[in-house]
A and B are shown apart, each in its own frame.
Chain A
Amino acid sequence: MLEKLNNLDVRILYVLMVIAATFPLLWPMGLPLPISEQVKASYNAIETNIKPNDLVFFGIDFEPTQEAELWPQVLAVGRHVASKGARMVLVNMIAGGFRYEERIEDVLIKQFNMKYGVNLLSLPFSAGREAAFQSIVADFKGLYKVDYHGKTLTDFPLWNEIKSAKDFKMYVQIADAPDWWLRPMSQVKGLLLWNGTVASGASTMAPLYQSGQMCGFIIGMSGGAEYEFLTKRPGPAAAAMDGQSMGHALIILFVILGNIGYQMTKRKEAEAKKAR
């Protein structure tokens, strides 16, 4: 039995994982999803701080590989910010993020009647990562000349109303974990920082939330799903959570079985050594 477990074909584990994570997508099980205090606090940070006409930076910095975790966050948080009547400026510092900038712009215009150039603006990808963020802090208006669509920014009323990064109330950053945006942006006096990130990057960002440097922090697909429930618009993340939970349950089972197998092998080897 133990031998069999130790030499199990890894493909069997893959098949089990495919079944565990896929079947609940087709036949939802309706597993409970409690909303954590952290997600509630993050929701409240936007709810209480953002007032109509406040300026909000909305950073979308992830590649398509993080779409499953971060796109639901962009949708849920973006809709929440828009519902507060804020003026939103979409920013993108990762080359692959422009696709999502375009998609959320479309959602905000169609669902919230936002007027492009008046209360919504999309800025183009800017290379340099931390250096580009530093440029936003030092000379925001000097960094950009045209918008995402290649149109001159001075043609838009919203652009002309902004003087510098200090005019913004909050920086909402949906990103694949790096902290290179936070170092420069934390230098802008009075700017509230809010972050949604991938689960694998949570350990990098969590201390920054715990220390109070960020007013909001949600993690991965589960964070997105909880946020969707708070905004009363269950979406792609909520739909995937049953599969996610079953996948996790299976991994836990694998880890327990693997450890039992390891301990038993170790004991068997020790006994064999003793017998010799």
Chain B
Amino acid sequence: MFALLDQIFVLLKHSLVGYFPVWMQPVVSVLISVVVIICLFPALFALTTVLERKGLARIQNRIGPNRTGPFGILQPVADGIKSLTKEDIVPSSADGAVHFLAPIVLVVAVFMGFAVLPMGRNMTLVQMDAGLLFFFAIGASTELSVFMAGWSSRNKYSLLGAMRAVAQMISYEVPLLMSSVAVVMITGSLSLGKIVEAQNHYTWGLPHWYIFTPWGLAGFVMYAIAATAETNRSPFDLPEGESELVAGYHTEYSGFKFALFFLGEYLAMFSISGLGTTLFLGGWSAPLEALNWVPSWFWFFSKLMLSICVFIWLRGTLPRLRQDQLMNFAWKFVLPYTLLILMVTALWRFLGPGWQQWVYCSAILIFAYIAMARTGLRRGHIGPRKYRYAE
């Protein structure tokens, strides 16, 4: 019964595919999965926008949207209708073709990332041996669309926003990759399915997720920081800082193209949270052995939504960084620390199971964190800027 519930979507798809002739079956199978992904994640996006607005409102002791539908849950419908009926303005000096293509490229690239994410047991669209590599290769092309948008708009704010976005995304792409490489070193595979399988076993009823190891916890924190910057979320929302740059690279977009950018941004958040879940939080595996009967897809999506809630929480808490703080933090703290995590992961592997690996790895990581934070703060590489003349 529970096994059936776990595999219900897989079985449903198989029975649907069975109605088609054999030569069509592979194509139909992929098409069904794609349609489901294309419908599911925008629906989740709609849910997240209202969740975010309500959550931020509560953080600021407000009520939040509550006019459309019960508790305001129909707000995204109203927003969607609004953005569809708005005029689509293209600046007369803009590069029309590129301006039109940019949001499409963004959304397509972001959707491609979902192809390799294991969303449940046997629920991966493409079982790719180098799924992680594919994910990052596709993810890097979102930078292209951001720059296309900024450049083609012919607006200085757009261009500045795009420049900031590209600089930031490239800077944080490196620690993002590095922290994932640690997982690959332990698992020995780039396949996301295998990474989940490697975490899906239990001792004393507790899971072997990578976040419960010293290098995994440190890696997860670095991954979360880099992922926040990669998706342009607050406190790393410089590329679209509305108080500085109007709206950054999508200043000149209105109507449905703007909605596409908005969608792409949230989808990127989902896909990067999904990857973080897969790499460090055990993907679709249950948090306790006793809870294994709950469907695997439920665990994947609850972990996903949990990370989205953390994103929202961070956005409600932290003010925006300055460009130099952002760059210093990436290159002088996050990157060296992720490199250290790689070393510690190698040490973990080399020491083998036992108490030594826990003690040594934790000690190195904690000591390095304290030492780097101290020196960084003293030299002014991270933390508040010291003004030499104006004080």
B is bound to A: no
On B, residues with C-beta under 8 Å from A are: none
